[in-house]
Amino acid sequence: MILSCACAGVGDAPPREGGLAWRQSEEDVRVQGVHYREWKNGRVMWDLDAREAAYHIEDEKAFFQDVSLVYYPPEEGLPLSLQADRVSYEMGPRRLKAEGNVLGEGAQGFRFRTDSLAYDLEGKRVMTRDKVILEKDRLRVEGVGMEGSLTDQTFVLLSSVRTVFASPHTAR
């Protein structure tokens, strides 16, 4: 693991926002301007950049704000990108949860938007119960809830699915 950052002093804990709350007590470490890279078997698994991070040693949890993340599949697929207002990362079980303006782009050029997304790094699975919008070229698919595999890059919308094909004149 490589962690590069500009350190800042510990101060008041940031305010709780939405479901992904920073802990009320003071964190063990807080840094600004974070770049976090995880390696496995000699190759980069993912890169994370954030405006600010807090780490709680006892809980083995890191909290990031204003996040940009890139996942590099080991199967030599194309990288997947994700942006979110807030991300929490549990070191032990290797689970990541993104919340607030979650935007992503997949290897096949699909873009997606949702309010939250959970990611199990070991199982390479993603899921959300929130509304999801998937877009590519003139295709827009909306639904509520999504489960997916990063291994084979398949994703299933769980309910209220709606598909719209835009005319060539209204495509973005």
Fold that domain 2-11+28-165 belongs to in CATH? lipopolysaccharide transport protein A fold (2.60.450)
Supply φ then ψ for residue 30, to 5 degrees: -135, 135
Q: Which residue type, as a one-letter code, is found at position 41?
A: N
* pLDDT at residue 170, as a whole number: 56
Q: What's the CA gap between 64 and 70, in Å, rounded?
A: 15
Which pTM was predicted?
0.76
One pLDDT digit (tens) per residue for the chain, 172 residues? 334 443 333 333 444 444 444 444 566 888 999 998 988 888 888 899 999 999 998 888 999 999 999 988 776 677 889 999 999 999 888 899 999 999 999 867 889 999 999 999 888 899 999 999 999 999 999 999 999 887 777 889 999 999 999 877 654 5
Q: Kindly report the length of the chain.
A: 172
Sign of CA dihedral 140, 141, 143, 149: negative
Do the beta carbons of residue 9 and residue 31 sit within 8 Å?
no
- What's the pLDDT score for residue 102? 97
Whole-number Å distance between alpha carbons of 161 and 1: 40
pLDDT at position 11, please? 33
